[in-house]
Structure 1
Amino acid sequence: MSNHWRKTTLGAAIALSLVLAGCSSESNTDANADANGNGANKPKEEAASDVSKTGFPIVAQPLVQKMFARIAPVNGPFKDMPVFQDYEKLSNVHAEFTEVPTDGFQEKKNLLFASNELPDVLFRAGLTPLETIRYGTAGQLIPLEKLIDDYAPNFKKLMDQYPEIRSAITTPEGHIYSLPTIVTLGAARTDKKWINQAWLKKLNLKEPVTTEDLYNVLVAFRDGDPNGNGKADEIPMTARASSGPGLGLPVVNMMSGSFGLDNQLGYNINLTDGKVDIWMGSERNKELLQYLNKLYSEKLLDPEVFSHKEADYLAKQGSGNAGFFFDQTNNPFLEIADQYTGIAPLEGPHGDRIQSQGAPVPRDFGSFAITSVNKTPEAALRWVDYFYSDEGSTLLRFGREGEHYELKDGIPYYKEDFLKSGNQAKITPYAGGGAPHLISEKVASFINPPQVQEAQKKLDPYMPKIRYAAPMFDEETARRVDVLRTDIDKYYEEQSTKFIAGAIGFDEWDKFESTLAKLNIDELEQIYQTAYDAMKK
């Protein structure tokens, strides 16, 4: 997602001793009580035999769950967050966090499993499918599918309602080793197509409907001085520079649906009559890149589209000097929000009009997992399951009613004074991304205000009925996919950039196709086909 809670990149290595120190703290009542009996009321760590399947508290006696968790730069300490303080009182479960900064988290996580010094729970863990399969098969993570039936009614209800959740998190052997974030709100899964309606009005232009209309509008933005300063300094169209290795070029992803190119199974894939088609070397993709090359060469597409930083991109939105761009929310341009409106996907030269960009319902894969050392996995699963309800998600995202938020027509909104304080990220772990919980229309007022809702309505008719997430592979296949995609994705993104920027001509397209073939794109396609076939059984 592309709002300002976007996750940052994982960084440098950290020493194993810190991991061990963080995960082996004593929590037993007797060990913590001093000679005067202080600390005798602290929760115990031993197994609880009375984990309730419904209602609160989850356990009759106080229970500790040691949790290894990523903490984002914007966050304050988890122990100071109202969500965990209040939920402990409700559940009788004390979450004892080992907080690991985003920079270095991946290395610490690797060392955690390598040393086999495991916590009870991994929270906001960002486990990849390969890590999940590897550590699950090794017995370090426990399978959850049977426990979900009895101890995770909220999550089970979501899986029944959205079958794509189950297919995204179930291994080929039928196990579920980790839970994702669930996003049922369409507006939280798409980047909207924002156009400068003030400029349209000044230049007496209509909202573009086709890619040809867009071209003509962008030319007018470039030449018509819509900002009225007498300078040719307008940015007709811009986009993010990169989504990260293997995630494609954002400007390609945002425009691909106009050329009939979808994004299924977490990749550049069309699904047609049960057939998987990786479209990177297709004629339609060639037409898409030719269109973007035309925009780039005529200075209609931001010349910094491949190089500017995230902060620069957001600043361009907020400046009001951009004509057309893409973002999930209106947060970056709130002060000039009336200047923009969302538009529908553009109809391409062959009549295609797909909202191809968009995350699946299961997001932030591997957000929560339970390890084999956990003596009360039922309690841990019940603990997290609350956050997959609207009530629990409200607590996690908004804090305390009256203090941090107020309800309007049943929807929580941050209080104005609290919003102005800028302390939202200090009271909730959702800020910074990756927390296991439900994002529904009932808990997303901050990222889904009316303007964003209206923009989403323009996209809804063109969204696929199901957006399939990346499939789970067995470890051997996952390793092979990783090898294939490392080479294919790097080559595709490098060459696409060159085609758009004009560094190479389209007379080299045959060479481009043949190189993709040499990189075994057909083998990769067959792997996805096999996974999709298994998914549909």
Structure 2
Amino acid sequence: MKRKWGTALLSAVVVSSLTLSACSSNTANTASTAKEGNNQAKDTKSVSSDGFPIVKDPIKLKMFTRIAPTNGPFKDMPVFQDYEKMSNVQVEFIEAPTDGFNEKKNLLFASNELPDAMYRSGLTPLEAIRYGSAGQLIPLEKLIDAYAPNLKKLMETYPEIRSAITTPEGHIYALPGIVTVNAAKTDKRWMNQAWLKKLNLKEPQTTDELYEVLKAFRDKDPNGNGKQDELPMTARNGLSIVPIMAGSFGLDFQLGYNINLENDKVNIWMGSDRNKELLMYLNKLYSEKLLDQELFTQKEAQYLTKQGTGNTGFFFDQTNNPMLDTKVADQYIGIAPVKGPHGDQLQLAAPVPRDFGAFAITSVNKYPEATMRWIDYFYGDEGSTLLRFGRKGDNYEIRDGIPYYTDAFLATGNQSKITPYAGGGAPHLISEKVASYINPPQVQEAQKKLDPYMQKIRYASPMFDEQTAQQINVLRNDIDKYYEEQSTKFIAGALSFDKWGEFQATLKKMKIDELQKLYQVAYDNLKQQK
């Protein structure tokens, strides 16, 4: 159920030298392949401009996709079974698990063994510009105009979508997931209210109060079993805890990176004093076993399991679905972001084009027009309903114009098995009309706690020209990797904060100032486009 945009903001955009060299050496070949592939496409007259089927005679496509731990096989999902009959497009999904997905994705491009499309692929802007410039991904803007009425309408309604996915040369190489409902843009802050009540504690309002609450969860046996086995606080693997807590220390994530915007000036804050304070606070929690000791080693499935045990005090998720699955949802309440030492209280949220690079068409695709028609269906409420809810009657019913899972289907616990939405990152529209499962009353109440602290403008990652993208790729490859490694060590106590000066100096040597200038230019261009 949960998408992983929070983690992605901090994850290094690592494209191996093998991938880069493969892209460079294959540019001519893949560009030729793209042209050849498009020439092999069926007569565009055989692709309907609207309605179904999309094509009169069945066609077959291969799509590489990420499969989350909660998912069942894509071929068994009602959405793809029914849509194949509607569209005459038969899709074979090449599934790769969440853990290790990026490595397999990069290997596809490095080896140039491409599928017809990348579905739920999490392509970064740098990957899109690299593989698009190399000819391995085809431009989509003309296909959108001719074969994607749903997406085209959304881009007209929300201009930030087009600016977030268009390169300086005017090309679109990848499509995002689009979110128009706030509840789908945020991680809720779920706290065990049953434990708060038992220990006669109030919801924490500050980072200091949160520390005291977590200590009470650790020491005062709130589950009542006489053992010190409670887990005070957990989060997704790695540094996902940083964007969750960063807002309490005045740190934002604009332009898809570790960036504050101050008077229209870009400030990459990785070496800042505020970030040091944040990491010191997280180190304090970790060293006192208030923060999950498996934070840097656990897999996604383990994290989801911890949400559903009822034995966790504080965690973060977009929805309440993992708790519902194990019937512990009533134990939890959403809380507001806690106020930090300088009075900061910011909530991280995703932009409207939330999941960049969710879908792309490769140069080997013989049916790009039909493929664009195929994906566009999911950018409308009808297609999104099918994708998220399955079959009417079997899986959902309509109440007041909104689809809801039936009680009988909810009782099976198979919601995450029937939709590629579960696990996040699917290319589709998330609107108020299709958000009942992720935005039930409990989630709505949790979201109300966050709304006052969300930024009015959330800039997505900018698209760069190829040369700038290459520069940023090289700089971020080293900087992001170093930042993640050192930050992990700071939090885990493997590196003393006495080394902070050396940490800052190393970031300087890695040319973080140059990276900041490149983002400043991108931001200035973005402002000029308005």
1:366 aligns to 2:357 (yes or no) = yes
**Where do residues 480-519 of structure 1 align in structure 2 (5 Å cutoff)?**
480-519=471-510
**Where do residues 17-96 of structure 1 align in structure 2 (5 Å cutoff)?**
46-49=42-45, 51-58=47-54, 61-62=56-57, 64=59, 66-70=61-65, 72=67, 74-76=71-73, 78=75, 81-90=77-86, 93-96=87-90
Rg: which structure is higher? 1
Offset of 1:57 from its aligned partner?
4.9
Across the two proteins, how many residue pairs are aligned to each other? 494
What SS is found at the alignment partner of 1:172? coil
Q: Determine the structure 2 residue equivalent to 1:187.
A: 183
Q: Structure 1 475/447 Cα, relative in aligned 2: closer, same or farther at 3 Å?
A: same
Alignment partner of 1:330 out of 311, 320, 334: 320
1:342 aligns to 2:338 (yes or no) = no
Offset of 1:132 from its aligned partner?
2.8
What SS is found at the alignment partner of 1:227? coil
Letter of the structure 1 residue corresponding to residue 90 of structure 2: E
Q: Determine the structure 2 residue equivalent to 1:30.
A: none
Moved more, 322-331 or 339-348: 322-331
Moved more, 344-353 or 416-425: 416-425
1:528 aligns to 2:519 (yes or no) = yes
Offset of 1:81 from its aligned partner?
4.3
What is the distance in 1 between the residues matched to 2:395 and 2:65? 24
Letter of the structure 2 residue corresponding to residue 178 of structure 1: A
Residue ranges of structure 1 left out of the alignment (5+ in a row): 14-43, 243-248
1:220 aligns to 2:216 (yes or no) = yes
Offset of 1:216 from its aligned partner?
2.4
Alignment partner of 2:307 out of 294, 317, 333: 317
Letter of the structure 2 residue corresponding to residue 2 of structure 1: K
Q: Structure 1 284/490 Cα, relative in aligned 2: closer, same or farther at 3 Å?
A: same
Letter of the structure 2 residue corresponding to residue 397 of structure 1: R
Aligned 8 A contact 1:399 1:428 in 2: yes
What is the distance in 2 between the residues matched to 1:77 and 1:316? 26
**Where do residues 404-483 of structure 1 align in structure 2 (5 Å cutoff)?**
404-424=395-415, 427-431=418-422, 433-483=424-474
Percent of matched pairs sharing the same residue: 70
**Where do residues 383-422 of structure 1 align in structure 2 (5 Å cutoff)?**
383-422=374-413
Aligned 8 A contact 2:122 2:355 in 1: yes
Q: Determine the structure 2 residue equivalent to 1:98.
A: 92
**Where do residues 235-314 of structure 1 align in structure 2 (5 Å cutoff)?**
235-242=231-238, 249-314=239-304
Structure with higher helix content? 2
Letter of the structure 2 residue corresponding to residue 83 of structure 1: V
Moved more, 282-291 or 145-154: 145-154
Q: Structure 1 502/202 Cα, relative in aligned 2: closer, same or farther at 3 Å?
A: same
Q: Determine the structure 1 residue equivalent to 2:229.
A: 233
1:161 aligns to 2:151 (yes or no) = no
TM-score for both structures, normalised by structure 1: 0.82
Aligned 8 A contact 2:4 2:424 in 1: no
What is the distance in 1 between the residues matched to 2:103 and 2:242? 32
After superposition, the C-alpha distances for 1:95-121 in whole angstroms (9 at most, x for unaligned) are 232321215977886687678787654
Q: Superposition RMSD on alpha carbons, in Å?
A: 3.3
What is the distance in 2 between the residues matched to 1:383 and 1:519? 44
Aligned 8 A contact 1:164 1:466 in 2: no
What is the distance in 1 between the residues matched to 2:111 and 2:233? 50
What SS is found at the alignment partner of 2:359? strand
Offset of 1:253 from its aligned partner?
1.6
After superposition, the C-alpha distances for 1:202-247 in whole angstroms (9 at most, x for unaligned) are 22221111112212222333333322233333332222232xxxxx
Moved more, 495-504 or 270-279: 495-504
**Where do residues 124-163 of structure 1 align in structure 2 (5 Å cutoff)?**
124-163=120-159
Letter of the structure 2 residue corresponding to residue 359 of structure 1: A
Letter of the structure 1 residue corresponding to residue 2 of structure 2: S
Aligned 8 A contact 1:6 1:433 in 2: no
What SS is found at the alignment partner of 1:205? coil
Q: Determine the structure 2 residue equivalent to 1:24.
A: none
Letter of the structure 2 residue corresponding to residue 194 of structure 1: W
Aligned 8 A contact 1:364 1:434 in 2: yes
Aligned 8 A contact 2:54 2:89 in 1: no
After superposition, the C-alpha distances for 1:310-348 in whole angstroms (9 at most, x for unaligned) are 343333332322222212222232211111100011111
Residue ranges of structure 2 left out of the alignment (5+ in a row): 19-39
Q: Determine the structure 2 residue equivalent to 1:27.
A: none
Alignment partner of 2:194 out of 172, 177, 198: 198
Q: Structure 1 163/466 Cα, relative in aligned 2: closer, same or farther at 3 Å?
A: farther
Aligned 8 A contact 1:236 1:322 in 2: yes
* Bigger relative CO (Cα 8 Å, ≥ 6 apart): 2
Letter of the structure 1 residue corresponding to residue 65 of structure 2: R
What is the distance in 2 between the residues matched to 1:522 and 1:225? 49
What SS is found at the alignment partner of 2:403? strand
TM-score for both structures, normalised by structure 2: 0.83
What is the distance in 1 between the residues matched to 2:274 and 2:81? 54
What is the distance in 2 between the residues matched to 1:405 and 1:140? 39
What is the distance in 2 between the residues matched to 1:303 and 1:87? 44
1:170 aligns to 2:160 (yes or no) = no
Aligned 8 A contact 2:65 2:94 in 1: yes
Q: Structure 1 3/380 Cα, relative in aligned 2: closer, same or farther at 3 Å?
A: closer
What is the distance in 2 between the residues matched to 1:69 and 1:379? 17
What is the distance in 2 between the residues matched to 1:127 and 1:4? 13
Offset of 1:511 from its aligned partner?
1.7
What is the distance in 2 between the residues matched to 1:47 and 1:97? 20
Offset of 1:489 from its aligned partner?
1.9
What SS is found at the alignment partner of 2:261? strand
After superposition, the C-alpha distances for 1:464-512 in whole angstroms (9 at most, x for unaligned) are 1232222222333323322222222222222223323333333322222
Q: Structure 1 421/441 Cα, relative in aligned 2: closer, same or farther at 3 Å?
A: same
Aligned 8 A contact 1:67 1:123 in 2: no
Aligned 8 A contact 1:47 1:375 in 2: no
Aligned 8 A contact 1:124 1:367 in 2: yes
